[in-house]
Amino acid sequence: MSEQRIRKIVILGGGTAGWMTAAALAKFMAPEFCAIELVESEDIPPVGVGEATIPQIQVFNQTLGIDEDDFIRKTRGTFKLGIEFRDWGAVGEHYIHGFGSLGRNMEALAFHHFWCKMQREGKAEPLGRYCLSALAATHGKFMRPIEAGDSPLSTIQYAYHFDAGLYALYLREYAEARGVTRTQGVVRQVQSDPKTGHLTGLTLGDGRFVEGELFIDCSGAQGLLIDKVLGVDFEDWGHWLPCDRAWAVASEPTAPLPSHTVSQAHGAGWQWRIPLQHRTGNGHVFSSAFMEPEEARSVLLNHLETRPVSEPRLLTFRVGKRTSFWEKNCVAIGLSSGFLEPLESTGIHLIQSFIGKLMAFFPDRAFSPVNRRYFNREAHDEYDRIRDFIILHYHATRRADTEFWNYVRTMPVPDTLQEKLVLFQANGYVHKEGNELFSGVSWAEVFIGQGILPERYHPLVDTIPGGEIERRLKHIESVIAQAVDYMPLHQDFISRHGGATTR
Ligand SMILES: Cc1cc2nc3c(=O)[nH]c(=O)nc-3n(C[C@H](O)[C@H](O)[C@H](O)COP(=O)(O)OP(=O)(O)OC[C@H]3O[C@@H](n4cnc5c(N)ncnc54)[C@H](O)[C@@H]3O)c2cc1C
């Protein structure tokens, strides 16, 4: 073993970020190679939200070797095929950003180009009819992909909804079984090396000292290590994403069990509905500059589809990112690294992705600055691209019914987003940057769903006669409809695979 290897990692925080990090590191590092200690305080509860995910989380769970049925059962989870956006482009409109593919690409061109041509001629159905996950979600259906040749049933993509507290507990059991030590206590002081500024240990309220060589800051939005100790700044994006509060409340389960998240737009924000087996998670994300908290609370309660079973809880947040995520020997993961509001369920994904980057650029005790530089560069890029995608939902609207919508509709947006908008508006092209998270299909679904229809379509569309395109679209639509007919109800699928009462 290398003399220079890291021998002790300290993770500060036992929320979703802390336990995801602990579980993933423990999977690959035996205690005799590197000890891992997680410090958390029961007096400082985790944020307790963060219950909707995107399909990439399957990779995380598979890497850990987690059995999906067991996972769904223990986290009281459900399956998710996409997000339905209601009243976003205009009041009365709705669309689903479905996971997976859209239609079928033809002549190497993305499907939406053909759809755009047919839509102008009044010969296309709404876009969601060509997307298996969107149509299945509309009908409350779900199944895992099966071997079915060319059928869309063989490429179903999905994510999960789960209980955040149970997920952290699940990962805690996993991590502790692999040798992670859990230490309970409040961090009162942080020690560092006066020469290098590197962190050396945490002193707890009762005087215990937790020593380490690499520190992972999962202490939540306060960023106890990255901000309070290392003084890393926060880049605030509130001018682009003005929502800064959320009321969260649980209500009775939704029946029949939906297989998608709902995002219902309101006058100064939006409301989520996340279906779990034992309850429905609801929250109203709003901008305090445009709506008073008491009004926002009433809006939430007035729009619940099932009876509340908890008292609404107010959460305050700041949207933006750290100017550096890895500083000295400390890496910020989770809310300590920044926050993008949960519109596209990207918080947990960012945790997963940061863990992946940490593994890719894992340091030894020399802490080569180049590792840190690349980690930071990739992480900044990822945050910025997701930010643009989220801003698009607010900006691409025709709503003019409240001050909030007037603001977001007319505000200047980042150049990177503006260029993408201009390109799509002109001819339906989607520019995907580097390793950006959201696919061309996702961008096209949201552009079109929000009411942005390109002025032209790709010129090569006209190499196929119009009648032939129309025939192909009809065929795709009917294949997808038949596939959805074949799929079981989500409720029935859950009862067989991970319902709390199944064994
Ligand atoms: C309103 C809202 C909705 C969200 N919805 C989604 C969603 O649907 N999907 C999604 O992917 N993400 C969502 N997120 C993001 C998601 O909740 C977070 O990314 C995730 O929970 C990670 O939080 P965390 O572990 O970084 O921090 P926290 O949950 O805040 O955990 C912090 C931990 O640090 C510990 N700690 C802090 N200070 C000390 C100290 N001094 N001593 C000892 N221990 C300490 C605490 O005990 C706690 O264990 C949402 C966030 C918000 C605000």
Asked whether the beta carbons of 54 and 349 are under 8 A apart, the reply is yes
Q: Give the model's pLDDT for residue 500.
A: 63
Q: Please check whether residues 307 and 429 belong to one and the same domain.
A: yes
Do 194 and 143 fall within a single domain? no
| Residue with CA closest to ligand 1 atom 17 | 50
Task: Assess whether 415 and 461 both reside in one domain.
Answer: yes
Q: What is the mean pLDDT of residues 72-82?
A: 97
Q: Give yes or no for residue 11 having a pLDDT over 70.
A: yes
108 contact partners, CB below 8 Å, separation of at least 6: none
Structural domain includes residue 72: no
Q: Report how far residue 175's alpha carbon sits from residue 23's, in angstroms, rounded to the nearest whole number.
A: 4
Average confidence (pLDDT) over 322-329: 98
When pLDDT is averaged across residues 347-367 and rounded to a whole number, the result is 97
| Per-residue confidence (pLDDT) for residue 435, from 0 to 100 | 82
If asked whether residues 435 and 475 sit together in one domain, one would say yes
Is 499 found in the same domain as 413?
yes
- The alpha carbon of 347 and the centre of ligand 1 are apart by a number of angstroms equal to 9
Determine the distance from the C-alpha atom of residue 82 to the mean position of all C-alpha atoms in its chain, rounded to a whole number.
11
Please check the confidence at residue 256 and state whether its pLDDT lies above 70.
Answer: yes
Residue 68 lies in a domain: no
Ligand 1 within 6 A of 22 CB? Answer: no
Does any ligand 1 atom lie closer than 6 A to the CB of residue 219? yes
Q: What is the pLDDT of residue 503?
A: 38
In the chain, how many domains are there? 2
Instruction: Give the model's confidence band at 48: pLDDT under 50 very low, under 70 low, under 90 confident, else very high.
Output: confident
pLDDT score of 422 more than 80 = yes
Question: Are 312 and 323 found together in one domain?
Answer: no
- Give the per-residue pLDDT at 1: 64
220 lines ligand 1 (CB under 6 A): yes
Residue 189 backbone phi and psi in degrees, to 5: -145, 150
What pLDDT score was predicted for residue 436? 92
Q: What spacing in Å lies between the alpha carbon of 16 and ligand 1's midpoint? A: 6
Quick one: pLDDT at residue 390? 98
CATH classification of the domain holding 178: 3.50.50.60
Query: What are residue 8's DSSP bridge partners?
Result: 35
Residue 334 CA to ligand 1 centre (angstroms): 7
Q: Could you tell me if residue 263 is inside a domain?
A: yes
Average pLDDT score over residue span 416-429: 96
- The answer to whether the CB of 159 is under 6 A from ligand 1 is no
Question: Residue by residue, what is the 3-state secondary structure of 395-423?
Answer: HCCCCCCCHHHHHHHHCCCCHHHHHHHHH
Residues 409 and 465 in one domain: yes
pLDDT one-digit tens code per residue, 192-248? 999 999 999 999 999 999 999 999 999 999 999 999 999 999 999 999 999 999 999
Ligand 1 centroid distance, CA of 195 (Å): 32
Domain shared by 307 and 448, yes or no: yes
On whether residue 297 sits in a domain, the answer given is yes
Of 279, 206, 360, give the one whose Cα is nearest residue 48.
Answer: 279
Q: Is 204 in the pocket of ligand 1 (CB under 6 A)?
A: no
Instruction: Kindly state whether residues 328 and 309 are assigned to the same domain.
Output: no
Query: pTM value?
Result: 0.97
- Taking residues 138-162, what's their average pLDDT? 96
Asked if 295 and 181 touch (Cβ cutoff 8 Å), the reply is no
Burial degree of 201 (CB within 10 A; 0-12, 13-18, 19+): middle
Instruction: State the closest ligand 1 atom to the C-alpha of 16, by its place in the atom list counted from 1.
Output: 25
- Determine the residue type at 175: A
Percent of the chain with pLDDT over 70: 99
Q: What is the pLDDT of residue 108?
A: 87
Q: What is the mean pLDDT of the chain?
A: 96
The ligand 1 atom nearest the CA atom of 351: 19
Beta bridge partners of 78: 161
Q: Do 287 and 324 belong to one domain?
A: no
Closest to 404 (Cα-Cα) out of 261, 221, 245, 234: 245
As annotated, the active-site residues are 80
Residue range 438-468, pLDDT digits in tens: 999 999 999 999 999 999 999 999 999 999 9
Cβ contact 426:452 at 8 Å: no
The reply to whether 503 falls in a domain is yes
187 close to ligand 1 (CB < 6 Angstrom): yes
Q: Determine the 3-state secondary structure of 204 from DSSP.
A: strand
Taking a C-beta distance cutoff of 8 angstroms, is the pair 417, 392 a contact? yes
Tell me: pLDDT of 375 over 60.
yes
In whole angstroms, give the CA distance from residue 195 to residue 189. Answer: 18
- Determine the Cα–Cα distance for residues 20 and 351; give it in Å rounded to an integer: 8
Asked whether residue 416 is assigned to any structural domain, the reply reads: yes
378: part of which helix (H) or strand (E)? helix 369-395
Rounded CA-CA distance 206/195 in Å is: 27
Nearest 5°: CA angle at 445, between 443 and 448? Answer: 100
Query: Would residue 480 count as lying in a domain?
Result: yes
* Same domain, residue pair 434 and 485: yes
Q: Where are the alpha helices (DSSP H) in 291-366?
A: 293-302, 347-360
- Provide mean pLDDT across the span 262-289: 98
Is 57 inside a domain boundary? no
> Does residue 13 have its Cβ closer than 6 Å to ligand 1?
yes
Choosing from 190, 335, 350 the residue with most ligand 1 atoms within 8 A of its CB, the one to mutate for a pocket test is 335
- Amino acid present at 494: I
Q: What is the pLDDT of residues 116-138, one digit of tens each?
A: 999 999 999 999 999 999 999 99
Per the structure, the complete domain to which residue 406 belongs is given by: 82-158+245-316+401-503
Q: How far apart are the first and last CA of the chain?
A: 43
Please give the backbone phi and psi of residue 80, each rounded to the nearest 5 degrees, phi first: -130, 130
- Does 501 have pLDDT greater than 60? no
Which residue's CA is the closest to the ligand 1 atom numbered 1?
246
Cα-to-centroid distance, 49 and ligand 1 (Å): 7
Question: What 3 state SS string does 314-357 have?
Answer: EEECCCEEECCCEECCEEECHHHHEECCHHHCCHHHHHHHHHHH
Percent of the chain with pLDDT over 90: 95
Q: Is 14 in the pocket of ligand 1 (CB under 6 A)?
A: yes
Instruction: Give residue 220 CA to ligand 1 midpoint distance, Å.
Output: 5
Residues 356 and 465 in one domain: no
**What are the residues facing 80 on neighbouring strands?**
159
Residue with tokens 């839509």: 119
